[in-house]
Amino acid sequence: MIRTMCVAGAVALAAVGCGTEDTAAPGDGISGTVTVFAAASLTETFTELGKQFEAAHPGTKVVFSFAGSSALAEQIEQGAPADVFASAAPKNMQQVLDAGDITAQPVTFVRNRLAIAVPAGNPGHITGLADFGAAEPKIAVCAEQVPCGAAAQTVFAAAGVTPRPDTRESDVKAVLTKVILGEVDAALVYRTDVQAAGDKVEGIAFPEADTAVNEYPIAPLAQAPNAAAAAAFVEFVGSAPARAIFAQAGFDTP
């Protein structure tokens, strides 16, 4: 559970349409494998959604590739076969859109923000974002080109902190692993990752996180091998059951 170090300002989030409430019934012609490229921070929620989608559409199989959004965007541009792309930031989705690999308008389905993760018991005695600029603690952050790294740059600038990371990782799950293993004293990850880690880590909220709220867009890919299933999966991500899963995981939902 994230413990709040100070009162954060309220942030008004605009509601974004995410498709219809209903999902298609069995026998609707949706079948086969649907390959979904998704941001690493969606690992737990999308894995559960994949199971529910398969149950709703007998004869389908959802295959996920989870990684940093920037790496996934590059793979799509290089022709990797995939049906759906779910990014942790509009920038990487726009990259794929500009390359002509998406023909449908991307839809924002959740929002997320950063939190400080520390090992259980907080052995490094981390109290807030200022510790990321100190010499003593071992610190991990995401690489700057991935959404969690770009968000980290924004919050550090807002806090007036010059970070001194000991390691920059390729995606947020790699950063979280450093904390779980006790290899670092603190890291910046999404608050959903802190929640997913359970009692393996502790979370510290900080007000500057409100300056870098990440929007997550999703879209079917233009060259999707299974276009029908791709469209159905995107619609399912916007459904009421999916929103309940996202909310339970700590995402902001429409």
Domains of the chain: 31-111+216-249 (3.40.190.10), 114-211 (3.40.190.10)
Burial of 90 (0-12, 13-18, 19+ CB in 10 A): middle
> What percentage of the chain has pLDDT greater than the value 70?
89
Q: Transcribe 65-80 into DSSP letters.
A: EEE-HHHHHHHHHTT-
d(CA 161, CA 157): 6
- Give Dmax over CA atoms of the chain in angstroms: 61
Side chain identity, residue 106? P
Q: Return the pLDDT at 1.
A: 44
- DSSP, collapsed to helix, strand or coil, labels residue 20 as coil
174-188 tens-digit pLDDT: 999 999 999 999 999
Closest CA to 194 of 204, 184, 181: 204
Instruction: For residue 221, count other CB atoms closer than 10 A to its CB.
Output: 23
58-71 tens-digit pLDDT: 999 999 999 999 99
**Would you state the torsion angle of the CA atoms of residues 161, 167, 168, 170, taken in this order, to the nearest 10 degrees?**
-150
Read off the pLDDT band of 103 (50, 70, 90).
confident
Sequence-separated (6 or more) residues with CB below 8 Å from residue 92: 69, 70, 72, 73, 147
User: pTM above 0.85?
Assistant: yes
